[in-house]
């Protein structure tokens, strides 16, 4: 009788395991979150063959007593989690124990744990406890999961390539390291160190561990709050844009979540700063009273609903926007050969140290001491804890900086010296040499001008000497008629004129005289094509389209006086750094870089 029950439980475990444990990442996730729940501040994850052969997670947490160690792998173990919202109270990752039986059911598990008084070792094969004995572990927990899915070959077959499995694990551990900068994470695959953070609580340093020091230097701290929400984090300079959204990481009370609305507002904020289909790198932490969120959990993803999401979206938008508007965004050209070498160097050094220390891994002493691994690569960093610590900047300081830069031009005066291929203006000032794309620059100037005119509700207009007659398809004509008020609000005076035809009698005063018919056509095209009319988006689109149409082009010959005028007007724009499509308008060689390139300075 007892045996039958045991077998059915075994079966149930295997079935359940399929839901929770599909990838090696799921195992790592479960073990790491248990370690965090156990109040560890050092977590070491060692993999063999992307975890398919072996996963070892070692922590320095509170450990378990003998009873808990045995119960941990039983289905009957109860979860500490009372409600899903509990997850978002700090320090509760909630799933404690939930998936351990599932993992044990499809692998060989060895658990060593100690609560500081005495240690226990438990050996489990395919969900059955084989041996329980005392362990010499001093404090913490070490779990070895071997031969995942050895007894369910079908599942084994469904594992992705080792590369994909590993990429998922790295992605997950990166997110945890960013969520918990106070915990030291060490991730090793086949003895190669993939991530090594110091656990000292400096988020920027974690960013540099993950993305490299060059990128960390291009991350800007942000802080903002309203009545219900507080946001902190780092946003990248527009020039660091990537081709995937994967590097936009949203944390709620320190826990990584997915939320398409928040993601969208972040991407929109960078609109016109970076080209479409490129995305910034952002680590955004949202602190909120868990009462204000509603959590929905599926085994694989976490969905969150925020109350008052509009105020949160607004907060994120204005905080990031204000920041981007307060800094110099001219990309500097660097002969960064040396920087790359520098970085590779430190990486090799880490690996080298890892190899040296590899002998110690199984050594009893090191069992509980992660510090055997090379910890501090501080010496290779220019960033130190006091440097850019957002918590140390008070909100007032930040606002002051913002106001200061807001009232003056964002770039210094530049003096043109010539033009290359009738396209790139070369200019100079005391800081260095500048290259300006004449079309992109003119586009930015005109874009801001049209944006202002279109948003002003001033519908002063000019009468055309000869009205312009425009003919449309029957379908377009219907849409246009329905939206005619948009044109009227802009200052157009129109008149229906026969079948599917409109006469334009007056046009807004700010529309230049040349290319008038083409411009009107463009505007009407946008009116027809715009679904779900959103005034701001419409205005922006019209402004960008007209700016592109009506600005000097590449290959247009302009005089040095025109250049002077163009550069001065660019300097007076709100965002002189990019055209409305997100392409750069200016790049620079600093004096130092020029000297370096010509070997006038050596280093
Ligand atoms: Zn253009
Ligand atoms: Zn453009």
Q: What is the pLDDT of residues 64-73, one digit of tens each?
A: 999 888 888 7
Looking at the predicted structure, is the pLDDT value of residue 394 above 50? no
Counting Cβ atoms within 10 Å, is residue 423 exposed (0-12), middle (13-18) or buried (19+)? middle
Give the long-range contacts of residues 349-356, CB within 8 A, separation 24 or more.
349/374, 349/377, 349/380, 350/193, 350/196, 350/374, 350/377, 351/192, 351/193, 354/188, 354/191, 354/192, 354/193, 355/191
Q: What ligand is nearest to the CA atom of residue 580?
A: 2
pLDDT, average across residues 97-119: 87
Q: Quote the ligand 1 centre to 552 CA distance (angstroms).
A: 9
State pLDDT tens for residues 50-67.
999 999 999 999 999 998
Query: What's the CA-to-centroid distance between 264 and ligand 1, angstroms?
Result: 25
Fold of 218-324: Ribosomal Protein S5; domain 2 (3.30.230)
Question: What is the percentage of the chain residues whose pLDDT exceeds 90?
Answer: 52
Per-residue confidence (pLDDT) for residue 13, from 0 to 100: 54
Kindly give the distance from the C-alpha atom of residue 449 to the centroid of ligand 2, in angstroms, as a whole number.
15
The ligand placed nearest to the CA atom of residue 546 is: 1
* pLDDT bracket for residue 132 (50, 70, 90): very high
pLDDT(203) > 60? yes
- Centroid of ligand 2 to alpha carbon of 233 (angstroms): 30
Instruction: Tell whether the model's pLDDT for residue 261 goes beyond 80.
Output: yes
With cut-offs at 50, 70 and 90, classify the pLDDT of residue 360. Answer: very low
The rounded Å distance from CA 548 to ligand 1 centre is: 4
- Report how far ligand 2's centroid is from the alpha carbon of 441 (Å): 9
The arithmetic mean of pLDDT across residues 468-485, rounded, is: 89
Q: What is the mean pLDDT of residues 373-389?
A: 34
| Centroid of ligand 1 to alpha carbon of 162 (angstroms) | 44
Q: What is the pLDDT of residue 499?
A: 87
Mean pLDDT for all residues in the chain: 81
pLDDT digits (tens, 9 = 90+) for 524-545: 999 988 777 788 888 999 999 9
Say what the pLDDT of residue 72 is.
82
Tokens describing residue 340:
């790359």
Cα of 319 vs centre of ligand 1, distance in Å, is 29
Q: Does the predicted model carry a pTM greater than 0.75?
A: no
pLDDT given at position 532: 73
Tell me the sheet residues that pair with 495. Answer: 503
Give the Å distance between the CA of 450 and the centre of ligand 1.
14
| pLDDT the model gives residue 339 | 35
- Count of other CB atoms within 10 angstroms of residue 176: 26
pLDDT, residue 335, reads 66
Q: How far is the CA of 438 from the centre of ligand 1 (A)?
A: 10
Residue pair 27/97 in contact by the 8 Å Cβ criterion: no
Taking the C-alpha atoms of residue 227 and residue 288, their distance in angstroms, rounded to an integer, is: 10
Question: What is the model's pLDDT at position 404?
Answer: 37
- pLDDT exceeds cutoff 70 at 333: yes
367 pLDDT more than 80:
no
State yes or no: pLDDT of 400 exceeds 90: no
Give the number of whichever ligand sits closest to the CA of residue 582.
2
Q: What is the pLDDT of residue 111?
A: 95
pLDDT of residue 55: 97
From the CA of 551, the nearest ligand is 1
- How many angstroms is it from 549 CA to the middle of ligand 1? 7
- Output the CA 410–ligand 2 centroid distance in Å: 20
- What letters, b where the CB count within 10 A reaches 16 and e where it falls short, cover 324-357? bebeebbbeeeeeeeeeeebeeeeeebeebbeeb
Distance 504 CA to ligand 2 centre (A): 28
Determine the distance separating the centroid of ligand 2 and the alpha carbon of 361, expressed in angstroms. Answer: 55
Distance from Cα 153 to the centre of ligand 1, integer Å: 57
Q: Could you say which ligand is closest to the alpha carbon of residue 581?
A: 2
Residue 331 is encoded by which pair of tokens?
């990309």
Q: How far is the CA of 588 from the centre of ligand 2 (A)?
A: 19
pLDDT band at 385 (very low <50, low <70, confident <90, very high): very low
pLDDT score of 301: 55
- Whether the per-residue pLDDT at 509 is higher than 50: the answer is yes
Question: Could you tell me the distance, in angstroms and rounded to a whole number, from the CA of residue 569 to the centre of ligand 1?
Answer: 17
CA of 566 to the centre of ligand 1 (A): 16
Average of per-residue pLDDT across 549-577: 94
pLDDT tens digits, one per residue of 15-49: 455 456 788 998 999 899 889 989 999 999 999 99
Q: Which ligand is nearest to the CA of 444?
A: 2
Distance from the alpha carbon of residue 240 to the mean position of ligand 1, in angstroms: 22
pLDDT of residue 302: 64
Ligand nearest to the CA of 549: 1
* pLDDT value for 365: 35
Q: What is the mean pLDDT of residues 217-239?
A: 94
Nearest to 439 by CA among 561, 550, 560: 550
pLDDT digits (tens, 9 = 90+) for 404-414: 344 478 899 99
Measure 576 CA to ligand 2 centroid, in angstroms: 12
User: Cα of 440 to ligand 1 centre, how many Å?
Assistant: 6
Assigned fold of 9-196: Heat Shock Protein 90 (3.30.565)
CB crowding 358-368: b at 16 or more within 10 Å, else e: eeebeeeebbb
CA distance 170 to 446: 45
What is the CA(443)–ligand 1 centre distance, in A? 6
Helix (H, G, I), strand (E, B) or coil at 82: coil
Q: Which ligand is nearest to the CA of 579?
A: 2
CA of 267 to the centre of ligand 2 (A): 18
Position 560 pLDDT exceeds 90: yes
Overall average pLDDT of the 337-360 stretch: 35
In three-state secondary structure terms, 162 is: helix
CA-to-CA distance for 374 and 348, rounded, in angstroms?
A: 12
- Residue 547, exposed/middle/buried by CB under 10 A (0-12, 13-18, 19+)? buried
Residue spans per domain, the chain? 9-196, 218-324, 345-450+555-597, 459-550
| Token pair recorded at residue 486 | 């948009």
| Highest mean pLDDT of the ranges 15-19, 46-50, 238-242, 250-254 | 46-50
Centre of ligand 1 to C-alpha 439, Å, is: 7
Q: How far does residue 578's CA lie from ligand 1's centre (Å)?
A: 11
**CB 464 within 8 Å of CB 506:** yes
How far is the centre of ligand 2, averaged over its atoms, from the C-alpha of 247 (Å)? 25
Looking at per-residue confidence, does 303 or 427 come out higher?
A: 427
CA of 409 relative to ligand 2 center, distance in Å: 22
What is the number of the ligand closest to the CA of 552? Answer: 1
Cα 275 to ligand 1 centre (Å): 12
- CATH number for the domain running over 345-450+555-597: 3.30.1540.20
Please give the residue that has the higher pLDDT: either 296 or 512: 512
Phi, psi of 437 (to 5 degrees): -80, 115
Question: Is-contact 73 126, C-beta < 8 A?
Answer: no
pLDDT for 448-458, tens place per residue? 999 999 988 88
> Which pairing describes strands 128-135 and 302-306: parallel, antiparallel, or unpaired?
unpaired
**pLDDT at residue 148 tops 80:** yes
CB atoms within 10 A of CB 194: 18
CATH for 459-550, options being 3.40.50.1970, 3.40.50.10470, 3.40.1440.10, 3.30.1370.100: 3.30.1370.100
Report the separation in Å between the CA atom of 455 and the middle of ligand 2, taken as the mean of its atom positions: 20
**pLDDT at residue number 127:** 87
Q: In angstroms, what is the span from residue 524 Cα to ligand 1's centroid? A: 19
Q: Which of 221-230, 292-301, 341-350, 365-374 has the highest mean pLDDT?
A: 221-230
- Is there a common fold for 9-196 and 345-450+555-597? no
Q: Closest-lying ligand to the alpha carbon of 275? A: 2
| Mean pLDDT, range 289-309, rounded to an integer | 76
Residue 401 has pLDDT above 60, yes or no: no
Where is pLDDT greater, at 350 or 236? 236
Q: Under 8 Å CB-to-CB from 324, ≥6 apart: which residues? A: 220, 235, 238, 269, 270, 273, 575
Q: What is the pLDDT of residues 149-166, one digit of tens each?
A: 998 888 888 888 888 899
What pLDDT, on the 0 to 100 scale, is given for residue 146?
Answer: 96
> 277 CA to middle of ligand 2, Å?
14
Helix (H) or strand (E) holding 591: helix 591-597
């Amino acid at each position: 009788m007892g045996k039958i029950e045991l077998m059915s439980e075994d079966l149930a475990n295997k079935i359940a395991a399929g839901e929770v444990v599909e990838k090696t990442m799921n195992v790592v996730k479960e073990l790491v979150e248990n370690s965090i729940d156990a109040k560890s501040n050092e977590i070491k994850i060692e993999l063999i063959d992307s975890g398919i052969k072996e996963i070892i997670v070692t922590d320095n947490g509170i450990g378990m007593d003998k009873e808990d160690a045995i119960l941990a792998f039983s289905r009957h173990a109860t979860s500490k989690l009372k409600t899903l919202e509990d997850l978002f109270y700090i320090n509760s990752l909630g799933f404690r124990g939930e998936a351990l039986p599932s993992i044990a059911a499809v692998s060989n598990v060895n658990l060593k744990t100690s609560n500081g008084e005495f240690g226990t070792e438990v050996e489990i094969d395919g969900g059955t406890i084989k041996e329980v004995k005392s362990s010499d572990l001093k404090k913490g927990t070490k779990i070895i999961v071997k031969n995942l899915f050895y007894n369910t070959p079908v599942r084994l077959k469904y594992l992705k390539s080792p590369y994909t499995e590993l990429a998922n694990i790295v992605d997950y551990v990166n997110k945890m390291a960013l969520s918990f900068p106070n915990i030291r994470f060490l991730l090793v695959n086949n003895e190669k160190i993939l991530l090594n953070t110091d656990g000292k609580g400096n988020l920027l340093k974690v960013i540099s561990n993950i993305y490299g020091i060059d990128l960390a230097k291009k991350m800007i701290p942000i802080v903002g709050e309203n009545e219900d929400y507080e946001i902190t984090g780092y946003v990248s300079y527009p020039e660091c844009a990537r081709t995937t959204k994967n590097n936009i990481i949203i944390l709620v009370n320190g826990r990584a979540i997915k939320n398409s609305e928040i993601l969208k507002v972040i991407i929109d904020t960078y609109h016109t700063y970076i080209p479409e289909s490129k995305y910034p790198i952002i680590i955004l932490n949202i602190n909120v009273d868990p009462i204000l969120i509603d959590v929905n959990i599926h085994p694989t993803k976490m969905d969150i609903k925020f109350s008052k999401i509009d105020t949160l979206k607004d907060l994120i938008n204005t905080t990031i926007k204000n920041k981007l508007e307060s800094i110099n965004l001219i990309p500097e050209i660097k002969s960064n050969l040396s920087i790359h070498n520098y970085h590779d160097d430190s990486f090799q050094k880490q690996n080298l140290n890892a190899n040296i220390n590899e002998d110690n891994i199984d050594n009893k002493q090191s069992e509980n001491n992660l510090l055997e691994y090379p910890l501090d690569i501080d010496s290779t960093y220019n960033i130190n804890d006091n440097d850019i610590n957002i918590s140390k900047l008070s909100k007032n300081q930040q606002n002051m900086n913002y106001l200061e830069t807001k009232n003056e031009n964002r770039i210094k005066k530049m003096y043109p010296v010539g033009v290359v291929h009738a396209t790139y203006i070369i200019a100079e000032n005391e800081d260095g040499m500048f290259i300006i794309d004449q079309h992109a620059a003119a586009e930015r100037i005109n874009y801001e001008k049209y944006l202002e005119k279109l948003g002003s509700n001033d519908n002063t207009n000019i009468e055309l000497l000869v009205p312009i007659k425009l003919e449309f398809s029957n379908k377009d004509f219907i849409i246009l008629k329905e939206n005619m008020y948009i044109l009227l609000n802009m200052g157009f005076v129109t008149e229906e004129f026969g079948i599917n035809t409109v006469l334009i009698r007056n046009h807004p005063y700010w529309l230049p005289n040349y290319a008038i018919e083409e411009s009107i056509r463009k505007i009407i095209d946008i009116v027809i094509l715009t679904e779900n009319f959103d005034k701001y988006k419409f205005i922006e689109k019209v402004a960008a389209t007209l700016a592109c149409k009506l600005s000097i082009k590449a290959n247009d010959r302009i005089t040095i006086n025109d250049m002077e005028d163009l550069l001065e007007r660019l300097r007076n724009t709100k965002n002189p750094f990019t055209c409305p499509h997100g392409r750069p308008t200016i790049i620079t060689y600093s004096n130092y870089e020029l000297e370096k390139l010509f070997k006038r300075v050596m280093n």
